[in-house]
A and B are shown apart, each in its own frame.
Chain A
Amino acid sequence: MAVWRAYRLRLRRRAFLLRAWRKRGEVRAVTDRTGEIGSNAILAFVTVRNEAVRLPYFLQHYRKLGVNHFLIVDNASTDGTLVLLQGQADVSVWQTSGGYKASRFGLDWLTGLMRRHGAGHWCLTLDADELLVYPHWETRPLRALTEHLEDQGRDSFGAMMLDMYPKGPLAAQRYAAGQDPLEVLPWFDSGNHVVQVQPKMRNLWIQGGVRARVFFGVEPRRAPTLNKVPLVHWRKGYAYVNSTHAILPARLNAVFDEMGGEVLSGILLHTKFLPEVVEKSAEERQRREHFANSALYDAYYANLITSPDLWSPASCRYDGWRQLEALGLMSRGGWV
């Protein structure tokens, strides 16, 4: 039975790889600087669409963490994203006008790139609205983290998305490109997450946070998935299944301890709720490219368009990684 299950997962993984290979023609290299990638480089893979506002701080944050090269697929941006990226010395850019949903939310494009450029490297797979923090991140760059993970015999690292939001109506905030988004979005829900393990791939399924509280109080099952495995010591045959929520081979999903202990983990500070979200939601609602079953999320977008206030008196104000660890949202495990 276990063998059969493993075989089916293997088939599934191969299908993802095949799919990525078939779609390799959809992305066209615009600026290819991958020749500069050193043998020990830490890479970041990103799909973007109209993220000119977020990208300056995004790049700054990950450069500070020690990402050596960014490999970015631009999905038909119209806001100058492409020009911005082409001007960065450590960024290689591909362009595509293919459908985001049809390419498994960008994963088909990235899987192909990762197979070509990621093998042997520690690879981050990110969205432009995700800022990774982990225990000691200000004093220990990603290199220290990945070396520690290797020492521990681990080749994947889990980081849950934490939805950050402002106090007051979303559209009433001001954000300028290059600014730290947390200055505008310092609030989060600290203790309303729901954790379960999905038996098929032994991956976690975490839901909750402010989006579940405000938008999915009637249908909690539809609340967005928050668990991610964004950092992986990549090898050729690997493939993400559903965003970076789950990955194959399934052993890479084992980023948690089942015997009561705590494993080192991080947090992806999710800056989705910058003021532009209101405008973008109107567009997403039309495009229907973000959820597998988009019609079910109409109410969600409709609500977002009204620029709601997500803040509550029980909201928590961000105060650094030690706070996130004390709250039990992430853990340093044995890494002191």
Chain B
Amino acid sequence: MSVGFVMLCHTALDRAAEVARHWAERDCPVVIHVDARVKAPAYDGLVRALGDLGNVRFSGRYACEWGTWGIVAATQEASSVMLKAFPEVRHVYLASGSCLPLRPVEELVAYLDSRPRVDFIESVTTQDVGWTVGGLNVERFTLRFPFSWRKHRALFDGYVRLQRRVGFRRRVPSGLVPHLGSQWWCLTRRTLSAILDNPERGEIDRYFRKVWIPDESYFQTMVRKFSTSVESRSLTLSKFDYQGKPHIFYDDHLQLLRRSDCFVARKMWPQADKLYDTFLLGKGAGQVAAEPNPGKIDRLFSKAVERRTKGRTGLYMQSRFPNKQWGHGRTAAPYSVFEGFSEVFENFEAWLGKVAGTRAHGHLFAPDRVEFAGGETVFSGALSDSAALRDYAPKNFLSNLIWNTRGERQCFQFGPNDVQDCSEMLAGDPNAQISVISGAWSIPLFHSNQNFGDIRREAARLQKIESDHLAILRSHNAKARIRIWTLAEFVENPMEPLQSIVDEISPRSLRRLTEAPTLTDLKGFGQFLQNLRNQGMQPVLMGDFPAGETVPTALRRGRPYLVK
């Protein structure tokens, strides 16, 4: 028999006993180390539970506080027992009490038999590790760590800072190149005995006693000194979260674990009955002898880290509420805001919905109600068309709308007649594409039948609102994709801007606009502006319209001319 298991246990001893029995009954010797902090009755229970097995031993007990030397001492001692008591063992597999074999032991034995000289241990130089949390890589080896990270975090951190400041460095013993890696390895007798029987071990152990988390570096470093063939990977499947804590596997991970083709995985939730039943009672047998492939499930776990640390952009909810600094005000997807277009063109919304293949709303921020596309009263996500609900939290309204319609681009109209509260959010949102024809709000006034005194007053009011809005769009904080034309500029050549906006909305269509929206009738508009001026109001946002009856060329036709 070629493989023996060293098990480090501290909780759920009943499960550890089941796993130890599983291995021992299949002719694999087991040496168990139980944390010294486990109380006597529990320990005695474990010893009794395995009393009938001749190839199970217990080794001297050390207190194994996370990140301290105790774990290495326990491993050394248990390994020595293994090598001495079971001379036929060729590979020693280091496992924990919460490990679970995923494939029949015979497959592991066969796998190791065909690689008799290979040491399986993840061992990476300090420069190359990407997983250490908290920024301590090489410093694990060069600083001192007398304070407990778990119990006295402030002291721990403070002492690290102090040592950095005064430039303190411990000397790494000559001949050692610090390496890091997963604690769970499988080493050959040859390598393991060389490490344990090394005449310089006393000195080396003294050094490692004060290294931070030595269980992730002691064997990983020593193996580089003695092994002839290191395969730098762990045979134990183990996943870590963003804080460096191991993920727990539950019953619902059954299929995932099966697909990994790994020999052993940790850590199992002790109450995961289905996992233990399936893998220990042999129901997991009958698979093809595949290479262990933890990569198959890596994606799921790296996605989990991303979900926890970055979250879903544009989502504001009960457990994700980024503050300003971390992107508050960002929405989930690109959308377009049109200002002045529905005044310049007739039936602009219908045209836009058709041409760009998007959802084209009216004025979502109209003062009396939300003008959802198609006149809906309740829109996607059950957003209400009540102006009061919207105005209670306009930013929430917008981010909800964009979130609810992920996958379908939203377009809406905006103007100085609308509630302006969301101006800053629009301007600061990189997802917003804002196209403005400034001064276009004057066209309905031009067509209206009100008294000229009222028109003049209204024009002054709207011009003030739009000026403020444009100032926000032009501020240095604006992150949206913003285009602004004056009314005069725009009607001079309306097709080019339209084409570029539509191209941006649906880049894949890349077709020329064949059907242009109908321009509204602007005959006499120049004179209208002149009348406003004559009444003492200064219309500035429309650009230069010649007074009198001359109308720019494009305006004489109902539809702009298209160059195909």
What is A's interface to B at a CB cutoff of 8 Å? 136, 139-141, 143-144, 147-148, 151-152, 158-160, 189-197, 204, 206, 210, 212-213, 216-221, 227, 255-265, 312-316, 328-336
Contacts and interface: CB of A to CB of B under 8 A. Distances in A.
B383 A158 contact: no
Nearest to B301: A336
Contacts of B386: 213, 217-218, 220
Interface of B: 241-243, 245, 247-248, 250-252, 269, 271, 300-301, 303-305, 307-313, 315-323, 326-327, 376-384, 386, 388-389, 392-393, 396, 400, 403-404
Contacts of B310: 260-261
A206 B319 CA distance: 11
B381 A195 contact: no
B379 to A, nearest CB: 6
Contact of A260 (B251, B320, B396): B320
Contacts of A258: 321-323, 326
Given A136-B252, A213-B378, A336-B247, A262 B319 contact: yes
Contacts of B241: 334
Contacts of B300: 336
A257 B320 contact: yes
Given A190-B404, A262-B319, A328-B312, 20 more contacts: A152-B243, A191-B403, A192-B384, A193-B317, A193-B400, A194-B392, A197-B321, A255-B318, A257-B319, A258-B323, A259-B322, A259-B326, A260-B322, A261-B310, A314-B383, A330-B317, A331-B307, A331-B319, A333-B319, A334-B308
A256 B318 contact: yes
A328 B456 CA distance: 48
A189 B381 CA distance: 6
Given A257-B322, A328-B403, A333-B319, A191 B389 contact: no
B318 A158 contact: yes
A263 B317 contact: no
Contacts of A206: 318
A220 B381 CA distance: 17
B396 A227 contact: no
Nearest to B307: A262
B250 A262 contact: no
Contact of B252 (A139, A219, A259): A139
A332 B320 contact: no
Given A140-B252, A213-B384, A263 B320 contact: yes
Given A151-B245, A191-B383, A331 B320 contact: yes
Contact of A191 (B307, B319, B404): B404
Contacts of A217: 384, 386, 388-389
Contacts of A218: 386, 388
A144 to B, nearest CB: 6
Contact of A257 (B250, B311, B383): B311
Given A143-B271, A189-B382, A194-B396, A262 B308 contact: yes
Contact of A261 (B320, B388, B396): B320
Contact of B307 (A141, A314, A332): A332
A314 B320 contact: no
Contacts of A312: 377-378, 382
By Cβ-Cβ distance, the 4 closest A-B pairs, closest first, are A191-B381, A334-B308, A189-B382, A265-B319
B237 to A, nearest CB: 14
A94 to B, nearest CB: 31
A144 B271 contact: yes
A331 B317 contact: yes
B473 to A, nearest CB: 26
A190 B381 contact: yes
Contact of A219 (B269, B303, B388): B388
Which of B301, B317, B320, B323 has the largest number of chain A CB atoms within 10 A? Answer: B317
Nearest to A151: B245
B320 A256 contact: yes
A302 B271 CA distance: 50
A204 to B, nearest CB: 6
B213 to A, nearest CB: 18
Contacts of A261: 307-311, 320
A204 B318 contact: yes
A328 B392 contact: no
Contacts of B396: 193-195
B388 A315 contact: no
B382 A194 contact: no
A334 B307 contact: yes
Contacts of A141: 271
B320 A262 contact: yes
A195 B378 contact: no
B329 to A, nearest CB: 12
